[in-house]
Structure 1
């Protein structure tokens, strides 16, 4: 490769296993990327990818080149971070992957506060209904609801959070969990639950949901229309017409974890951002949960 830009393009296509997947992060269109890869292969004198309608798969040479390019990327990142060690403000781009509950109701406020203190910093929030793949560099770090069991990753617990049943304040009251059988239940699409910690049906003794979505934000909007479902306490201040119900009978606790690639452990820039992110999320969860408790319906 002649320069870092060639390496950056190659790595992005290799990790995304295709041109379309790599295009957004590189801010280039797929046709331009295709020409860049073709030019690179001509310069190398060999194919780096096997192209098919299913995507771009690395050749043996491509695999070896990817390993070397990834090592160089790590060293370049560390070199950039060394230049910031004595700086007071963070700069550059940092992308966070997160489940959509955190991405919708917590990270916008937290990241806005961090960015306000670091005007040259560009923060991106990647909200996905699945676990973000850090090995493919989909993000610099990820918020998860379960600590990963495998991979070259470092994990820090961020904070615990609470969930309760909620429904419209003007709906007929619920006396007990058994009353839920007569109500429209809102929840996840069962075959799209990507983490066991998100499976709440057993808690409310339900075998199905009448209205479902893979998005927490969409579920909240469904409950605002009608029905009842499990809601993050920190989301309730965003839906003032909803109230917690049956709080003595149904109360769940879950945790958020911050996951980073092990190779980034020496990055002062990412470490400083991670610390600010953890502290900000802890404070925002506490603030929003306190606000939600003030509007909880009293136990029956």
Structure 2
């Protein structure tokens, strides 16, 4: 290696490692994708090593790339700290934040929350990953995410976002057509809508078996939004948090007696948590969960 790599090249390296694609990195850096490619080629020449494996799916770090990553992250933290100290103010909240959230919560509540939030930060953009599975933070699929499983290895900032309860819900039409449910054992004679059992994004989603009855699953879906539509159409009962029943199409059954408790965790890699734009979204989600507790545990 004849010359030391420049910080700007390492910044391009970091963004490509986090996004996995030239287009994603170029958007974060606000440059053309050809510029990202050129900078990465130059960095690899300077280091005399291949940092990424290229494929049609995108860019993945090589063994050498993984070795360089923590050093680049340390430099990024130092640069941000210096900027804040020299300016005497918080580093501007700008750029792109990739946020992974559970599908139903993301569509129904996080999306409108972000729409309002982004009006206050015109230089900030959010890539919202709403999908039946949880974002993979280890592979840098997202900058921060809401998950059911708190990581027990790796360098992450982790906080309990909210404890929540899943209650049994059914549509008024379904409940009128079927035998009354007066106690837990009565659930055994009813149809249920649930997750596809061999496609669970987390073992924490296997809550229907905790009812104490053998559930008769009539329809299984990979996401809770589809389950809610099926239950609202009268196909069967479902278990869901209160935020799935805010439109009145589903009503609770034995709410005081039958429920399962879980927790959502807010997680971000330590190096990304230091970024002002990531912390801004982190704080937004915490404030939302604290102010809307009834969405997670029913207060009737």
TM score, norm. by length of structure 1: 0.76
Whole-Å Cα distance in 2 between the matches of residues 7 and 70 of structure 1? 9
Residues 168 and 242 in structure 1, CA contact (< 8 A), matched pair in contact too: yes
What is the CA deviation profile of residues 118-156 of structure 1, one whole-angstrom value per residue up to 9, with x for unaligned ones? 343323322243343334332222222232222111212
Q: How many pairs are equivalent?
A: 287
Give yes or no for the alignment of 1:145 onto 2:148: yes
Residue 297 of structure 1: aligned partner: none
* 2:200 maps to 1:188: no
Structure 2: unaligned runs, 5 residues or longer: none
- Determine if the alignment matches structure 1 residue 114 to structure 2 residue 117: yes
Tell me if 1:158 matches 2:161.
Answer: yes
Where do 5+ consecutive residues of structure 1 fail to align?
Answer: 295-300
Closer, same or farther: CA 279–138 of 1 in aligned 2, 3 Å: same
- Is the Cα contact below 8 Å between 1:99 and 1:130 reproduced in 2? yes
Matched-pair contact (CA < 8 Å) for 1:188–1:214: yes
Match of residue 292 from structure 2: 284
**Partner of residue 258, structure 2:** 250
Deviation at 1:91, TM superposition (A): 3.4
RMSD: 3.7
Counterparts of 1:80-119 in structure 2, within 5 Å, are 86=89, 90-119=93-122
TM-superposed CA distance for 1:185, in Å, is: 1.2
Matched with 1:261 is: 269
Task: With the length of structure 2 as denominator, give the TM-score of the two structures.
Answer: 0.76
Rounded to whole Å, the distance in 1 between the matches of 2:270 and 2:53 is 30
Given that 1:89 and 1:117 are in contact with CA atoms closer than 8 Å, whether structure 2 keeps it comes out as no
CA contact (8 A) 2:95 2:277 kept: no
Counterpart position of 1:298: none
1:134 matched to 2:137? The reply is: yes
Matched, 1:72 2:75: yes
Measured after TM superposition, the shift of residue 251 of structure 1 is 1.6
Residues 244, 80 of structure 1: alpha-carbon distance in 2 compared, 3 angstrom cutoff: farther
Greater shift in the superposed pair: 266-275 or 224-233: 266-275
**CA, structure 1 residues 272+51, in 2 after alignment: closer, same or farther (shift >3 Å)?**
closer
- In the TM superposition, what is the alpha-carbon distance from 1:85 to its structure 2 partner? 6.5
Q: How far did 1:218 drift?
A: 1.6
**For residues 86 and 13 of structure 1, do their structure 2 counterparts lie closer, same or farther at Cα, with a shift above 3 Å needed?**
closer
Q: Describe the superposition over 1:240-259 as per-residue Cα deviations: whole angstroms up to 9, x where unpaired.
A: 22111122331222222222
Deviation, 1:15, is 5.1
- Whole-angstrom CA distance in 2 between matches of 1:75 and 1:153: 18
CA 108–67 in structure 1, closer or farther in 2 if over 3 Å, else same: same
**C-alpha deviation, 1:7, in angstroms:** 3.8
Distance 1:34 1:266 in 2: 26
Aligned counterparts of 1:228 and 1:31: Cα–Cα separation in 2: 52
User: 2:207 aligned with 1:200, yes or no?
Assistant: yes
d(CA) in 2 for partners of 1:155, 1:49? 29
8 A Cα contact 1:96 1:139, kept in partner? yes
Which of 206, 209, 212 aligns to 2:220? It is 212
Q: Residues 84 and 91 of structure 2 are in contact (CA less than 8 Å); yes or no, is this contact kept in structure 1? A: no
